[in-house]
A and B are shown apart, each in its own frame.
Chain A
Amino acid sequence: MTDLNIVALVSIGAHPASGRARRAEQDARAVELGLRLAGKRLRVLHAGNPREEALRSYLGMGLDELAVLEQPAGADALPALADYLADAGAQLVLTGSQAETGEGSGMLPFLLAERLGWPLVVGLAEVEKVEDGSAQVLQALPRGQRRRLRVRLPFVASVDSAAPGARQSAFGPARRGRIEAHEVAVVEDQLLAASTLQPARPRPKRLKVIKAKTGAERMKAATAKAAGGTGQVLKDVSPQAGAEAIFKLLLDEGVLR
């Protein structure tokens, strides 16, 4: 555990099947990471309605209190959050990578980092160590790979589904926890008003378009077998020769490290 000053930003999620309000999956992972790093000293911040019941499931993860910047739905959360964080003396701000409701553009951590003038790490998986004003962290890449980065404090980090899974939320602590509402100035989001939200339409399947000029080409395209038959077959070779061929392919593909 480190003595970092950590703030986790949380939002209200929506259950993928029922659509009911719940703790957001990635934000819960951000809180989990914060709890592992700072324990009880983790501060959790939400911008929105303080009377939302789903906020209590974050408290159930083992937090005593949760700060809420009171805002109506559809207001711009960025100015309020940036002002609060600039005064809070945070060294690390953890967020999910995108919201589960509303626009969900995933821009908040980027805009926050730009506004605060802090560096941003995307896809934080683990904080390895913190020493003399910089942190050594692991970043999650596609295909389960990891990259080691050194980043100057303070910084903003977003967490995606590669981060450690969130712990269960307990009912008792969730009831006992305090939700502290702060009054902030409300800024309307003008740009979002020009767009409309609607239930997701299933995306059309891409059709295979055959652009053949002649009948023979069309026939060939229609009857062509999908791949196969082109592979190299090594028969009656010694195990060493076979292994050598496999080894060469693995080396060419760059999967041996």
Chain B
Amino acid sequence: MSEIIRRDPRAEWIARNRLHPLHAALQSQNQTVWIGPNGIVRKNPHAIAAGFIGPAGIKRIDRSGAQQGTGTRRSASVEVQLPLHVVEQPAYYVAVVPDMVGGRLSSHDKDLLGLARRLAGSEGAVLAVVFGEHKESAFDSAGVDRLLLLDGEQYQGYAPEQRVLALRAVDNQFAPRHWLLPDSRTGGGELGRRLAASLGERPATRVWQAEGERCVGRAGAGQQDIQRPLARLILAAAECAEPVSETRHEARPVELAWQVARNLPRIEDLGPVAVDPAQIPMAEAEFILSGGNGVKDWELFHRAASALGATEGASRVAVDDGHMPRSRQVGATGTWVTARVYLAVGISGAIQHLQGIGACDKVVAVNLDPGCDMIKRADLSVIGDSSAILQALIERVAAWRQEGRRDAA
């Protein structure tokens, strides 16, 4: 929208003329200050004294006219555009292979891009190599100058050897000054070490600080630090550097010049295996169904957990009453869980329990009391009787599984 203020003389005339049929429509309710026909500032003191309801629900009067004027004034808080950092002819590249857990940059990936940005300086460009489909839309603000997407069915699933081949092709074409990979269990640690073995580079592993020409990483079982010259291939730990926050980058797409050769896979991926949820340690379970004082029918609770395929947890009250073993307690005295989805049934949310679920992504609460603390924490809350809701949930999931089987057949 243009910033030039345009007057509409006809509308102003109608607004002045109380006998005009359109007069009421053009009368803005909260306009207290306006420019009169002769260019004189006019005020409506009655409208000012009528006041307005402030954010705390109390009537406020603002005689400066600043508050009332907001309706007609343009909002001043325009989205601040960060300065764009352009590298037209990169002197060298710093290649990053993010993990992309769930198709998005994780916080570990962003830290790594921050480190890459620092290593690239103003001359170099950060090249991100992404395998397969992604859902990320913020490559530019994460500090990616060049983006290389490697898509294709040969990279689907578990194909570390094919990925190493592709990274070797990237190494040939771009000759990056540094290779950066996250030293994580979700894939980066393995891929980085495979690449290091294939390139014959000695990597710096578990690096948590890189300054100048030296870097510091954990050694052994974490009892010692190893300080060494900055390696070409760096496997960095989480929080190795601050993520990029002050500049925007181009994320300009680049292509590989040659097709990557297909190798005959020596390791064949036969797909994931169904795991008994009760065997997964609670601290790392992905989906937890947790019961508390509000659960009356524990038989039904166990049936619900097996129908949903969830790992069972419990609050302290349920454990003290003997409904669940002590090893299943979630919270300050029990286990601190990291589940992606935490379904709390009949748990009101004592602070010790809420501490234990601090790292959970999505919390769903089923409770009778709409005012309890768990509801405040939860992303979705259902107020009602837990037994009836669990029963309905079991039936819904059973119907869904039935449907799936019919589709497959």
Pair B382/A246 contact, Cβ less than 8 Å: yes
> Taking the complex as formed, is A224 at the interface, i.e. its CB lies under 8 A from any CB of chain B?
no
Say whether, besides A13-B221, A255-B286, A256-B308, A151 and B266 are in contact (CB < 8 Å): yes
Q: Do residues A231 and B341 form an inter-chain contact, with CB atoms below 8 A?
A: no
| A255 and B287 form a contact (CB under 8 A) | yes
Give the nearest-CB partner of B275 in chain A.
Answer: A146
Distance of B393 from chain A, by nearest CB (Å): 4
Residue B11 at the chain A interface, CB threshold 8 Å: no
Which residues of chain A in 171-208 are interfacial with respect to chain B, using CB atoms and an 8 Å cutoff? 191, 194-201, 203, 206
State A183–B275 Cα separation when bound (angstroms): 46
Tell me if B8 counts as interface (CB < 8 A to partner A): no
Main secondary structure of the interface of A (DSSP, over half): mixed
B189, B208, B341, B396: the one contacting A203 at CB < 8 Å is B208
Q: B224 and A243: CB pair below 8 A?
A: no
- Give chain A residues whose Cβ lies under 8 Å from the Cβ of B376: 228-229, 231
On chain A, the residues within 8 Å of B245 by CB distance are 211
Q: Out of A121, A143, A257, which one reaches B284, CB within 8 Å?
A: A143
Q: Tell me the smallest distance from the CB of A146 to a CB of chain B, in Å.
A: 4
Name the A residues within 8 Å of B341 (CB-CB).
Answer: 249-250, 253, 255
| A167 contacts B by Cβ under 8 Å | no
Complex: chain A residue closest to B266, CB-CB: A119
A113 close to chain B: CB less than 8 A: yes
**Nearest-CB distance from A242 to chain B (Å)?**
4
Whether B364 contacts A246 by the Cβ 8 Å rule is: yes
By the criterion CB–CB under 8 Å, are A206 and B239 in contact? Answer: yes
B397 touches A256 (CB 8 A): yes
CB distance from A202 to the nearest CB of B (A): 10
CA distance A201 to B219 in the complex (A): 11
Is A2 among interface residues, defined by CB-CB distance under 8 A?
A: no
CA distance A123 to B272 in the complex (A): 14
Q: A237 interface residue, CB < 8 Å from B? A: yes
CA distance A227 to B164 in the complex (A): 41
One of A29-37, A38-46, A83-91, A103-111 at the interface: A103-111
Which of the residues B229, B270, B310, B392 comes within 8 Å of A149, measured between beta carbons?
Answer: B270
Interface string of B208-231 (1 = CB under 8 A from A): 100000001011111111111100
Q: Mark A1-43, 1 if CB is under 8 A from B, else 0.
A: 0000000000001101001000000000000000000000000
| B158 within 8 Å of A (CB atoms) | yes
A232 sits at the interface (CB 8 A): yes
Q: Contact partner of B158 among A103, A144, A147, A211, CB < 8 A? A: A147
Q: Is the CB of B275 within 8 A of A231?
A: no
Q: Which of B16-24, B198-206, B312-320 contacts A (4 or more CB under 8 A)?
A: B198-206
Please, which residue of chain A has its CB at the minimum distance from the CB of B158? A147
Given contacts A144-B284, A196-B227, A255-B341, contact A138 B273 (CB under 8 A): yes
Q: By the criterion of a CB under 8 Å from any partner CB, how many residues of chain B are at the interface?
A: 82
Q: Is there an interface contact between B196 and A235, defined as CB atoms closer than 8 Å?
A: no
User: Which of chain A's residues 234-257 have a Cβ closer than 8 Å to chain B?
Assistant: 234-237, 239-240, 242-247, 249-251, 253, 255-257
Q: How far is the CA of A100 from the CA of B228 in the complex (A)?
A: 19
A203 and B206 CA atoms in complex are apart in Å by 12
Q: In the docked arrangement, what's the CA distance between A111 and B193, Å?
A: 9
B338 to A: closest C-beta gap in Å:
8
Q: Are A114 and B391 in contact (CB under 8 A)?
A: no
Complex Cα distance, B161 from A122, in Å, reads 12
A215 at the interface (CB under 8 A from B): no
* Interface contact B225-A201, CB-CB below 8 Å: yes
Please, how many angstroms separate the alpha-carbon atoms of A120 and B160 in the complex?
Answer: 10
Known: A110-B196, A111-B197, A198-B225. A150 touches B382 (CB 8 A): no
Identify which of A138, A246, A251 gathers the most chain B CB atoms within 10 Å of its CB.
A246
Residue B389 lies at the interface, judged by CB distance under 8 Å to chain A: yes
Q: How far is the CB of B270 from chain A (nearest CB, A)?
A: 4
> Are A121 and B380 in contact, with the CB atoms below 8 A?
no
Q: Does B309 contact A (CB under 8 A)?
A: yes
Q: A122-B190, A142-B186 are in contact. List 17 more A-B contacts (CB 8 A).
A: A13-B221, A103-B205, A104-B218, A107-B193, A136-B270, A144-B275, A145-B286, A148-B273, A150-B270, A196-B227, A197-B219, A201-B216, A234-B382, A242-B389, A246-B380, A247-B393, A249-B379
Contact sample, A vs B, 17 pairs, CB 8 Å cutoff: A16-B222, A103-B205, A103-B219, A143-B280, A145-B275, A146-B275, A147-B269, A148-B273, A195-B227, A196-B226, A206-B239, A233-B370, A234-B383, A237-B384, A239-B391, A253-B362, A257-B274
Residues of A that sit less than 8 Å from B by CB: 13-14, 16, 19, 99-107, 110-111, 113-114, 119-123, 136, 138-139, 141-152, 155, 191, 194-201, 203, 206, 209, 211, 227-237, 239-240, 242-247, 249-251, 253, 255-257
Q: Give me the 7 closest cross-chain CB pairs, A-B, nearest first.
A: A195-B228, A144-B280, A243-B392, A242-B382, A239-B388, A119-B266, A255-B287
